[in-house]
Chain A
Amino acid sequence: MARKMLTLGEVRDGALRNVSFEAIGAAKIASDGGEVVCVLIGNNVKEFGQELIQYGADRVVVVEDEKLEQYTPDGFSQALLAVIETEQPEGLIFGHTALGKDLSPKIAGKLGSGLISDATNLEAAGGNLVFTRPIYSGKAFEKKIITDGLVFATIRPNNIAPLQKDDSRTGEVSSVSVEIKDLRTIIQDVVRKASEGVDLSEAKVVIAGGRGVKSEEGFEPLKKLADILGGAVGASRGACDAEYCDYSLQIGQTGKVVTPDLYIACGISGAIQHLAGMSNSKVIVAINKDPEANIFKVADYGIVGDLFEVVPMLTEEFKKLKIHS
């Protein structure tokens, strides 16, 4: 059954987030040949429309307003609900990002629909769309379907593949004007703490440090390794509590959930709360002095040794590999 699907494009730091493309990929599966329309909300975001088309959107609808410069639930829901009213989609897919998590329940409430949050997979099976999502901090999974109303889900970044970018693809990017009014929450200030560069929750490679890193300076070799691999640096709660790094880097049950292709845990013991944030990574490497450390139980590859010896050696080896390939 063909379904018209709507996705949300998300712009951060002057670029579309990857999860915007993944949402289009998911919407394609859900659409079963129906139209996929991507909505872009913000101020001066129309320029990103073509890229969404190249990633598979059939059309892009843009809502621009000065009051949409920053995300607020009132502003973005007014914009989105106006588009939903006109487009009448049969399903919605957002990224399970800070924005998507905050906005999607309000939209679901307004539409009186169900919502499946934090999906890591979807498949069409026997007329139903079946979503898979982690529960109990990633220790179990459930498969869920929508039984009433719109198909509505948020997808966890890095899990559902985007379509191949096609530079020759063209489509309509249209603007609609929506009156944005009565914002009940106003952003007064934004304090940037998250590190520059690669977005931790979307990184393909994550190099994470724990208490074993021992100091703020101890993160330097990890940063070098991350640079070589185009990855992001993360941390365990232990390292954050010890003030070796900012809490914005924390991976775990509290903190970020990451599912990169490669996760290298350096000096991390592997407390259960940490595992909740990274155990679904595709390949896990553990580097730890303690051969009994819990992290080795979830690791695909392990090296028992001092991270301050191993990590710089790894950086050198990867450098060689990059040169040869």
Chain B
Amino acid sequence: MNIYVLLKRTFDTEEKITISGGRINEDEAEFIINPYDEYAVEEAIQVRDTHGGEVTVVSVGTEEAEKQLRTALAMGADKAVLINVEDDVEDGDQFSTSKILAEFLKDKEADLIIGGNVAIDGGSGQVGPRVADQLDIPYVTTITKLEINEGAVTVTRDVEGDSEVIKTSLPVLVTAQQGLNEPRYPSLPGIMKAKKKPLEELELDDLDLEEEDVEAKTKTIEVYLPPQKEAGKVLSGDLSDQVKELVNLLHTEAKVI
């Protein structure tokens, strides 16, 4: 089975966020594999171990994403591809990323493509379905279970808490939801092996793409932090008085009840 994983290097949103020069300050931030993409890497490895084949992890980004790709290799992926857009794409959007990925994937004869259902930084969740559409293959988003039997695929999908059991066939693109699996930590031998695994670096030129082919269709004009919330009112006194006061405040001051 020929398996591709779409991986994004993301800002660890557990970090404190500051803004400088109209952008999120990334200077001292921790970067990680987008947590939903970790589920995707794990699932790809499990599918390969059951059905045979090869797992290739691909990322669109800058040279810095090499670290996250090496981590995926250390987890057990076989190959990695970095599509380095540092010099070519400034302020790309989901259209740009999906176009690049689709262009890369179009002649790869992938049986299965797995991504995260959303990246925790940008939070749009568009890239997976956009790539599937450009490759003209079916997709299922936010999956919590994947079973493959010959060419037949059964997927369980999380739909706002309900579960749908969906039948489809290969080739297919799926996006991972929490609950799909427990991603493994890279082992020490895994980390050693990863250093020798192939990591190919491509640029737009290699995909026969021009900058204008992938020019964003949206533009961010401002980034800002939410206004600091004023310290809330912690009530005091007798508990029953506190409860009465709270109901009164919600009714008359906050006016939400």
Contacts and interface: CB of A to CB of B under 8 A. Distances in A.
A interface, by DSSP: helix, strand, loop or mixed? mixed
A181 interface: no
A202 to B, nearest CB: 10
Contacts of B196: none
A323 to B, nearest CB: 13
A302 B122 contact: no
Interface in A157-201: 184-194, 200-201
B interface, by DSSP: helix, strand, loop or mixed? mixed
Contact of A146 (B24, B178, B217): B217
A1 interface: no
Contacts of A147: 216-219
Contacts of A136: 11, 13, 17, 24, 120-121, 123
B140 to A, nearest CB: 6
A101 interface: yes
Interface in A84-141: 97-98, 101-102, 104-106, 108-110, 113-118, 130, 133-141
A242 interface: no
Contacts of B142: 98, 102
Interface stretch (A36-44, A52-60, A209-217, A248-256): A248-256
Contacts of B51: none
Interface residues of B, number: 77
Contacts of A304: 234
B162 A194 contact: yes
A280 B229 CA distance: 11
A187 B164 contact: yes
Interface string A300-323: 111111000110011001100100
B187 interface: no
B130 A108 contact: yes
A35 interface: no
B240 A146 contact: no
Given A189-B164, A193-B161, A261-B256, A144 B221 contact: yes
Interface residues of A, number: 88
Nearest to B230: A300
B188 interface: no
A106 B123 contact: no
Given A194-B162, A272-B14, A301-B246, A186 B168 contact: yes
B90 interface: no
A205 B254 CA distance: 13
A135 B218 CA distance: 15
B78 interface: no
B163 interface: yes
Contacts of B217: 113-114, 146-149
Contact of B130 (A74, A106, A305, A317): A106
Nearest to B129: A105
A110 B208 CA distance: 21
B245 to A, nearest CB: 9
Given A114-B217, A147-B217, A184-B138, A253 B129 contact: no
B249 to A, nearest CB: 6
A91 to B, nearest CB: 13
B166 interface: yes
Given A98-B142, A114-B95, A248 B161 contact: yes
A318 B243 CA distance: 10
B160 to A, nearest CB: 5
B16 to A, nearest CB: 9
B226 to A, nearest CB: 6
Given A114-B218, A135-B121, A190-B163, A185 B256 contact: no
Contact of B123 (A137, A200, A248): A137
Contacts of B120: 136-137, 253
A147 B179 CA distance: 37
B257 A191 contact: no
A116 to B, nearest CB: 6
A313 B239 contact: yes
A115 B94 contact: yes
Contacts of A262: 250, 254, 256-257
A108 B126 contact: yes
Contact of B239 (A249, A286, A305): A305
B93 A114 contact: yes
Nearest to A325: B251
11 contacts: A73-B139, A108-B130, A109-B133, A114-B217, A135-B121, A136-B121, A188-B167, A262-B250, A296-B234, A314-B246, A321-B251
Given A110-B133, A118-B123, A273-B14, 4 more contacts: A106-B139, A143-B224, A200-B161, A253-B120
